[in-house]
Amino acid sequence: MERMRRTVLGIMAAFLLLAATACTVTQADPDYVPPAPLPALEQLKQAPLTDPAALSSGQDYLSFVTADHNVVCSLTSARGEHVNLPYEQNGFGGSGTGKFATVPVAHCELAAYPKPEAKDVRDSCGGTGLGYLGGTALLTPDRAVYGECRSGVTQQESEFGPKGTRNGPIAQLPVLEDGKNVERNGLRCSAYNGGVACGNVSAGVAFFVARDHYELILPGTPTVSPAPSEARKTP
């Protein structure tokens, strides 16, 4: 009788151990459709803020790259056309810039990017020998612009473009993880949906930039999720 009792207890213990250590097998739902990314301004409103100290390095700007290193951005300042960037030569601190007001801006550069659409070209670059090229975006408190007059490549392209060195000042910058948000002087940037959105939420102004598409959001623009455009990538 005692032997039978021990046998029953052993079977029960083995059953309980098996139940406690059993693995749960989950299967993907073939009918599941992931939700669409939030529109840029909604993402900037809702995404959790990251401690800016991790991105500032004690300087008067917040700079970061995306996890894939395709986009580098700075929440910084500008005087006229001179933007204070830690990885590009600029005249922000030059003696002739004192006549310009200092305004907060967000500036991004891309390693791979679409061409500007004709409606977004803001400058003829007349007489300069330059072309209006994509790969940069600028946000001020009241406007968003994609592209600029330049020749050659940006620092971001020289480091992370098709022939990039993968080494330089941008390679040393911290990563803003996907879904996170950072803010400086009333402007915000968020890494999400394969790119970066930057905006002035209170004014309803923003941009979204990624490898294969971009979007400029101005007051009155319908709030739609960023979706790929037909703009051709720059090699």
Residue 154 token pair: 């940006």
CA of 34: how far to CAs of 30, 65, 76, 90, 179, in Å? 11, 26, 35, 43, 15
pLDDT, tens digit, for every residue of 25-46?
667 777 777 789 999 999 999 9
pLDDT, tens digit, for every residue of 90-127?
889 887 787 899 999 999 999 999 999 999 999 999 87
Strand segments, DSSP code E, in 81-223 are: 82-83, 102-110, 131-140, 143-150, 181-184, 187-192, 195-200, 205-210, 214-217
Strand order of the sheet with strand 205-210? Answer: 181-184, 187-192, 195-200, 205-210, 214-217
Instruction: Report the C-alpha gap between 191 and 44 in whole angstroms.
Output: 10
Instruction: Report the C-alpha gap between 211 and 113 in whole angstroms.
Output: 5
What is residue 53's predicted lDDT score, i.e. its pLDDT? Answer: 83
Residue 152 token pair: 């050659």
Instruction: Report the C-alpha gap between 190 and 185 in whole angstroms.
Output: 15
Cβ-contact 114, 234 below 8 angstroms = yes
Helix H or strand E segment including 73: strand 71-79
Which residue's entry shows tokens 């910058």?
173
Tens digit of pLDDT at every position of the chain (235 positions)? 555 455 545 555 554 554 555 555 667 777 777 789 999 999 999 999 998 887 877 788 999 999 999 999 999 999 998 999 999 988 898 877 878 999 999 999 999 999 999 999 999 998 776 899 999 999 999 999 999 999 889 999 999 999 999 999 999 999 999 999 999 999 999 999 999 999 999 999 999 999 999 999 998 776 666 665 444 444 3
